[in-house]
């Protein structure tokens, strides 16, 4: 992995010089800011059982299904479309370093954007000092979940990009997988008690991969190791498949 940091530096430079990065970042922060504003307005009108930070963190998935494809769809698909993949892999860089470099670069940007959203509760607390706005357990747990689940989400995007020569196809594929993982498991979990009473093993698997339930627990300050294992093992699987896809399509 001696060439990993060189490739990572190159990939970060390319991301930071791309207008798409700043466009995606702008819309992400705009959407998250509007969500936080609507939460505060609703919180002031009607008493809520949950803290504003709990509700805000539970909405994290709304921009994820759009942000991750935008961050990852160019990573490998663009290299292959431009015919740079073969020449790149004839250098001392191997496929593992290539996938790892692109994954880490996209993940760092993903985490950085979400950490910027800490400014919303911080600004609110500055003007309206209230301990409920900056509940430490909620913020630490919620952002820990975002960092942990982001590993799997970004790895899914990298795999989608490794399977296609087209950015558009990679973006759609990534969006579909993320939508299925986040929204699909939630729909299955809601129907599990009605249709899966006789299939306990299936219900366990659905509960184990239920992303929206995980974020509810973490945003309440409950750190559970089972979701962490799920996201780490899923990340390793997705990245391994991405490496195999790069090797197969060389």
Higher pLDDT, 54 or 234: 234
The whole-model pTM stands at: 0.88
Per-residue buried b or exposed e for 140-160, using 16+ beta carbons within 10 Å of the residue's own CB: ebbbebbebbbbbbbbbbbbb
- Number of folded domains in the chain? 1
Give the per-residue pLDDT at 152. 94
Tell me: the pLDDT tens digits for 160-204? Answer: 998 888 888 888 999 999 998 888 777 776 666 555 555 555 666
**Residue 19 contacts by C-beta under 8 Å, 6 or more apart in sequence?**
none
Tell me: the pLDDT tens digits for 75-91? Answer: 887 777 766 665 666 66
- Give the separation between CA 24 and CA 188, rounded to whole angstroms: 30
Sign of CA dihedral 196, 190, 202, 207: negative
Higher pLDDT, 96 or 112: 112
Domain encompassing residue 69: 4-248
């Amino acid at each position: 992995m001696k060439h990993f940091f060189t490739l990572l530096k190159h990939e970060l430079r390319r991301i930071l010089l791309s207008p798409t990065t700043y466009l995606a970042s702008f819309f992400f922060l705009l959407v998250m800011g509007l969500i936080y504003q609507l939460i505060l307005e609703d919180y002031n009108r009607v008493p809520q059982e949950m803290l504003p930070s709990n509700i805000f963190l539970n909405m994290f998935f709304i921009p994820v299904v759009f942000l991750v494809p935008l961050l990852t769809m160019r990573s490998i698909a663009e290299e292959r479309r431009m015919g740079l993949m073969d020449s790149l892999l004839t250098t001392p860089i191997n496929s593992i370093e290539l996938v790892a470099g692109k994954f880490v670069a996209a993940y760092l940007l993903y985490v950085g954007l979400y950490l910027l959203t800490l400014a919303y509760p911080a600004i609110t607390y500055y003007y309206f000092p209230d301990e409920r706005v900056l509940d430490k357990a909620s913020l630490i747990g919620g952002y820990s979940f975002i960092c942990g689940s982001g590993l799997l989400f970004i790895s899914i995007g990298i795999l989608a990009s490794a399977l296609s020569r087209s950015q558009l196809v990679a973006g759609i594929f990534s969006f579909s997988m993320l939508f299925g993982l986040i929204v699909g498991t939630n729909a299955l979990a809601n129907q599990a008690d009605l249709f899966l009473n006789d299939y306990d093993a299936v219900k366990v698997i659905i509960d184990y991969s239920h992303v929206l339930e995980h974020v509810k627990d973490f945003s309440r300050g409950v750190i559970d190791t089972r979701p962490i294992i799920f996201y780490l093992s899923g990340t390793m699987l997705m990245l391994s498949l991405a490496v195999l896809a790069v090797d197969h399509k060389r």
